[in-house]
Amino acid sequence: MSKLTDVPKRILIGRALRSDRLGETLLPKRIALPVFASDPLSSVAYAPGEVLLVLSIAGLSAYHFSPWIAVAVVVLMFTVVASYRQNVHAYPSGGGDYEVANTNLGPKAGLTVASALLVDYVLTVAVSISSGIENLGSAIPFVVEHKVLCAVAVIVLLTLMNLRGVKESGKLFAIPTYVFVTGVFLMIVWGAFRGLVLGDDMKAPTADLVIKPEHQGLAGFALVFLLLRAFSSGCAALTGVEAISNGVPAFRKPKSKNAGTTLAMMGALAVTMFCGIIGLAMVTDVRMAENPAHDLFRDGQPVGGDYVQNPVISQVAEAVFGDGSFLFIVLAAATALVLFLAANTAYNGFPLLGSILAQDRYLPRQLHTRGDRLAFSNGIVLLAGAAALLVVIYGADSTRLIQLYIVGVFVSFTLSQIGMVRHWNRHLRGEKDQAKRRRMIRSRAINTFGAFFTGLVLVVVLVTKFTHGAWVALLGMVIFYATMTAIRRHYDRVAEEIAAPEGPSDDSVRPSRVHSIVLVSKVHRPTLRAVAYAKLMRSDTLEAVSINVDPEETKALKDEWERRGISVPLKILDSPYREITRPIIEYVKSLRRESPRDAVSVIIPEYVVGHWYEHLLHNQSALRLKGRLLFTPGVMVTSVPYQLESSEAAKLRARRRQEWNAPGAVRRGPVEQRKPKAANGAGTSGKDSAKDSVKGDSAKGKTDK
């Protein structure tokens, strides 16, 4: 089975990397920018459209508010970027918002931030890929007709790319991200040149459409509420900003400085592109509606259900570059691709945060383990599964999914900035150096303003988006919080239960006697080897046990046992219902009841085979028996492997794999640091047998029952 799965795995994700090559995977700024900032950079492809969609509720007259909403988003972006630059310098370990809140506000606040971030990362993948599918669907009808299937396929592809490692996936993502950024800047510059210098009249393909407002002539509180809702939708441009603070360990040294520089570059690019697209949308008379089939009119008639509403960036590009032009096609393709790749921000943030939470015992410890390519493989797969489920549930509809968005972002923003204020207050109390104090006071002022502003936006988002789907994100946060709390309680309870006591205990007291039982089905080489091994243990009592399922076979076994003069007594257990596991379990329990201070050692001879299909040709009674005996106190299970000729093939394959590091070698350490174990005759028990099974000279065996 190992051979069957190992070859495709190597083809898809590449050869395993040694642990000492972790430094080679660290990122320079030019690669870190597309890796960690692809989400906020790509969000300019849909954030302007979300603003116009909300404003269209009040009709075309409300569009003149969009520049002011853009200004508010820009101020918020600069505030958040400036605040997070303080974070990456103060907390460079990679914990990001979680570490800040956990350290300064307590475990509950830290867990709240972690829950918000985990939900937001899942939504980042779902929203980005769904939006990319919609952009691509404007050119390829098949994608629109099968958008759920296509979205899931893209998630699988991104997952495989990230399983190959952060640096390799970053190189793959860098080109389309930079093409997209370059294309948008060319569009802004060329559009400004055509409009201001040449005086061209650029018109979007929807410029001749008329918007039918859902609520005509909004004023007072209703208008304010609408503007706040439009602002909260535009705040989608800020998603992913926190990913850089979570990914500081992935940067090359000096880590904090490089992370801060990358954060500033990301903020400047995102703000410029967002404002440029909003401005060009106003100049080219772009028209958007939440329900285009009924709210958009051409020549006095609704456009109908066949109408496909293209994103704002596509309409602006068509107006500036011309429909079908080379630059239009390049930008359209780069936009769709970068939206897919925007999910990579989550693919880097979610596994890293999951690893930190696993280290703090809030998530399963498997999430803390690096995979063969030195990426957190388990976290990557978990994220992909959750995002794919969300895409299927919501039909890959970005408009529906984006209503769930933003909430988690601003929960983490707000708590993180409050935590940073407390961080500076604590350090200021003990700092005497005036120069350092001035820097701390300036940083505290930035974080204070950031906490106030992001907290205000959080209230706006909750009020304006709660009934439109934000409650689902809040429910997800509650579920994550409750699950992580339960996991931590479990780990704490287990740690307390297994802690070594100061004085003597039942676990350290030597058993009075050891009863050894060798399970026997026939007299053959594996049985004789198991009996010989059991004799070496020098137990107080030793017997062979067989189950009477077929009287003729049982009689033949007894005769052969006596003929060979085997010195170990043979005990036959009757099984009128032809069961194997239950009679052995009951017999072992009876021994324990008779002598509770005695230990029982169950010795099982097992075949070791070399091909995956051979596992199917032997029954699974040994595995079932081991599973049942695990719940019986005072019982130990020992496997005595017997290598068949076919296992030689497995040995050869393992030796070849060891030349470039076997799968999992990264987790176990370099080959030369591991002590070899005997090939034949050595007993393995419990979890040790599972660890040894990955070695080439033994594979998982089955008992011949």
Q: What pLDDT score does 47 carry?
A: 80
Report how far residue 507's alpha carbon sits from residue 521's, in angstroms, rounded to the nearest whole number: 33
Mean pLDDT of 135-153: 76
Mean pLDDT of 151-177: 73
Mean pLDDT of 597-612: 81
Quick check: 394 and 401 in contact, CB under 8 A? yes
Q: Are residues 396 and 534 in the same domain?
A: no
Mean pLDDT of 299-311: 76
Res 675 pLDDT > 60: no
Q: What pLDDT score does 375 carry?
A: 59
Structural domain includes residue 189: yes
Which residue type occupies 208?
D
Beta strands in 164-319 (DSSP E): 210-211, 296-298, 301-302
Q: What is the number of domains present in the chain?
A: 2
Res 231 pLDDT > 90: no
Structural domain includes residue 471: no
pLDDT range class, residue 482, cuts 50, 70, 90 = very high
Query: Which residues lie across from 635 on neighbouring strands?
Result: 600
Sheet containing 296-298, strands listed edge to edge, beginning at the edge strand earlier in sequence: 210-211, 296-298, 301-302
| Cα-based torsion angle of the residue sequence 62, 64, 66, 69 in order, rounded to the nearest 10 degrees | -90
Paired sense of beta strands 514-519 and 301-302, if any = unpaired
Q: What percent of the chain has pLDDT over 90?
A: 6
Q: Which of 451, 339, 361 is nearest to 114 (CA)?
A: 361
Q: What pLDDT score does 25 carry?
A: 53
Residue 669's contacts (CB-CB under 8 Å, 6 or more residues apart) are 19
Give the end-to-end CA distance of the chain in Å, rounded to a whole number.
21
Which residue type occupies 296?
L
Q: Are residues 523 and 655 in the same domain?
A: yes
Q: Minimum mean pLDDT among 3-17, 207-221, 424-438, 573-587: which range?
A: 3-17
Q: What pLDDT score does 504 carry?
A: 56
Q: Minimum mean pLDDT among 165-174, 306-315, 390-399, 641-650: which range?
A: 165-174
pLDDT tens per residue, range 246-259: 667 777 778 888 88
Which residue type occupies 387?
A
Q: Minimum mean pLDDT among 161-170, 179-188, 334-343: which range?
A: 161-170
Report how far residue 390's alpha carbon sits from residue 406's, in angstroms, rounded to the nearest whole number: 16
Structural domain includes residue 413: no
Q: Residue 349: which CATH number?
A: 1.20.1740.10
Structural domain includes residue 449: no
Res 13 pLDDT > 60: no
Residue 153's contacts (CB-CB under 8 Å, 6 or more residues apart) are none
Structural domain includes residue 482: no
Mean pLDDT of 321-330: 83
Which residue type occupies 209?
L
Q: What pLDDT score does 370 carry?
A: 66
- Domain end: 401, 433, 456, which one? 401
Mean pLDDT of 628-641: 84
3-state secondary structure 513-545: CEEEEEECCCCCHHHHHHHHHHHHCCCCEEEEE
How open is the CA angle 286-291-297, to the nearest 5 degrees? 60
Q: Name the range with the highest mean pLDDT among 247-251, 502-506, 635-639.
A: 635-639
Tell me which of 437 and 704 has the higher pLDDT.
437
Structural domain includes residue 584: yes
Give Cα separations from 443 to 87, 417, 421, 448, 653 (angstroms).
10, 11, 8, 9, 58
Res 160 pLDDT > 50: yes
Q: Are residues 83 and 204 in the same domain?
A: yes
- Domain end: 401, 428, 457, which one? 401
Q: Which of 576, 611, 577 is nearest to 702 (CA)?
A: 611
Q: Residue 556: which CATH number?
A: 3.40.50
- Domain end: 401, 417, 447, which one? 401
Report how far residue 356's alpha carbon sits from residue 471's, in angstroms, rounded to the nearest whole number: 27
Would the CA dihedral through 590, 596, 598, 604 be positive or negative?
A: positive
Paired sense of beta strands 296-298 and 599-608, if any = unpaired
Res 638 pLDDT > 80: yes
Report how far residue 583's alpha carbon sits from residue 245's, in angstroms, rounded to the nearest whole number: 59
Res 315 pLDDT > 80: yes
Give Cα separations from 457 to 64, 122, 228, 441 (angstroms).
22, 21, 9, 24
Report how far residue 96's alpha carbon sits from residue 86's, in angstroms, rounded to the nearest whole number: 11
Structural domain includes residue 16: no
Res 462 pLDDT > 50: yes
Q: Which domain holds residue 542?
A: 514-702
Mean pLDDT of 348-371: 80
pLDDT range class, residue 19, cuts 50, 70, 90 = very low
Would the CA dihedral through 185, 188, 190, 193 be positive or negative?
A: negative
Mean pLDDT of 450-455: 85
Average pLDDT over all residues of the chain: 77
Q: What pLDDT score does 323 carry?
A: 79
Tell me which of 179 and 50 has the higher pLDDT.
179
Report how far residue 383's alpha carbon sits from residue 155's, in angstroms, rounded to the nearest whole number: 10
Total-model pTM: 0.66
Q: Are residues 133 and 274 in the same domain?
A: yes
Which residue type occupies 335?
T
pLDDT tens per residue, range 111-125: 998 898 888 888 888
pLDDT tens per residue, range 361-411: 888 877 776 654 455 778 888 888 888 898 888 887 776 776 677 787 888
Q: Minimum mean pLDDT among 25-39, 146-160, 352-366, 589-603: which range?
A: 25-39
Structural domain includes residue 69: yes
* 3-state secondary structure (DSSP) of residue 640: strand
Give Cα separations from 235 to 50, 409, 465, 623 (angstroms).
9, 10, 12, 54
Report how far residue 176's alpha carbon sits from residue 180's, in angstroms, rounded to the nearest whole number: 6
Q: What pLDDT score does 500 carry?
A: 62
Q: Are residues 305 and 174 in the same domain?
A: yes
Res 239 pLDDT > 90: no
